[in-house]
Amino acid sequence: MQVNDLWKGKHVLVVGLARSGIAAAQLLVKHGAAVTVNDSKTREALGDALIPLENLPVQWRLGCGAQELLPGQDTLVISPGIPDTAPFVVKAKKKGLHVIGELELAASLCPGTMVAVTGTNGKTTTVTLLGEIFKNAGKHAWTVGNIGFPYSQAALEATDDDVLVCECSSFQMETIETFHPKAAALLNITEDHLNRHGTMEEYIRLKMRMFENMTQEDTAVFNLDDPLVAPLAATVRAHSIFFSRKKEPVEGAFVRDGMMVLRMNGLEEIVLPLNEIYIPGPHNVENALAAAAVAAAQHVPTSVIADTLRTFKGVEHRIELTRELDGVRWYNDSKGTNVDSTIRAVQTMDRPTVIILGGSDKHCDFTPLAKEMLASPAMREAVLIGVTANQIEDTLRRCGWERIHRAHSMEEAVQMCREIAKPGWNALLSPACASFDMFRDYEERGRVFKQLVADLA
């Protein structure tokens, strides 16, 4: 890794010592910065997470707020969980400090070619799928960003020949400046994170920031079937192409007569029959189309794309078949953290299904989910948990859904599903909510669910 002299001797305060903050501090030390690390949690509470920093020359300021640490600093690096409206961030900007997020820091220092993916749903699946496509094409590929592996961690080791496939959240886009993918895809936009962003207009604006530094030499990929997404293609400088399950764009990836087709630079190629895509569901056809369009824009051979789609088995916590017991299939869709994501899981169910719903509140409307459940031939019963249980029950009953059960814990919810589900049924965890009322994150929620299911006699 070449050292970037721009950071040499700079005083940098890194706030938030989750995975991205730890990696950002490591990266800054490598580039010669004088780093202070801060978290409101104590050293004891952070525990083993701090091990990567123990032998590095950083200043520790733990168990306190960041506001009093601003004097003497040149730059503030914040984790995605910290909004750019936080009082200490606003104060830092007023004092003239340079304020960026970990993603911006890493992207500015990391060699290699970066492609990026954003959207309300499908990001992790599409990013992971793209990583596999590039690996199968002979590239050393990293999947980074909101997927859970910090971009800064990859930046410590990546080379010019590597490919960085970056999952971008709206939170991360608040603090970018020079972030510049060579190809980027916007999968879809539905209501989400309004508890942080306030309005859909602001949420969309932040999603679109991913494209703001791209040029005509780059490729922007948009969902032609999404009425909120398709018109946005006209607002970017990059060369725009599309993916679609329902239409045939002039350029991009689409479906014709049950086949996936790529049309690039005026040339058409059949990729594979849709029924050969390993991961199930119409939403995964969309994810596969988006990944194919991005990969083709980066000159990956069609045969490599097809072979990967035939073998890629999906990601953990996304409609993941956990176990079949007594004729009941148990699915972990803990990554269903918003209404639209859970709707997609509901649409994938092809057997009678009992669903576990509920979690922490993101200020979303559950009416579309209730209507989808009523329209679905598969959905039979609902078990509600978490802070939003009352809100979900009110919405379900208002829409005419009456088959409702209430549980006080995930363990109780699993036991209820065990009693309800008959041979030939599915039991689906797809909460349509964030997890923070009962769990650290959706991954912990999914792991707890899987363990409870594994323990069923």
HSE (side-chain half, CA atoms, 13 Å) at 222 = 24
- Burial tier of 447 (Cβ tally within 10 Å: 0-12, 13-18, 19+): middle
Which residue matches tokens 């058409």? 268
Q: Which amino acid is at 161?
A: D
User: Is the CB of residue 148 less than 8 Å from the CB of residue 81?
Assistant: no
Residue 322 to residue 320: CA distance in whole angstroms? 6
Q: Are 120 and 197 in contact (CB under 8 A)?
A: no
User: Is-contact 187 286, C-beta < 8 A?
Assistant: yes
Catalytically active residues are 123, 146, 193
Distances in Å between the alpha carbon of 295 and those of 111, 183, 208, 219, 275?
19, 9, 20, 11, 20
> How far is residue 312 from each of residues 89, 180, 241, 287, 354, measured CA to CA in Å?
41, 28, 24, 12, 27
Radius of gyration, alpha carbons of the chain: 23
Provide the edge-to-edge strand list for the sheet that holds 219-223: 141-145, 163-167, 113-118, 183-186, 219-223, 239-244, 252-256, 259-264, 267-273
User: Kind of pairing, strands 252-256 and 259-264?
Assistant: antiparallel
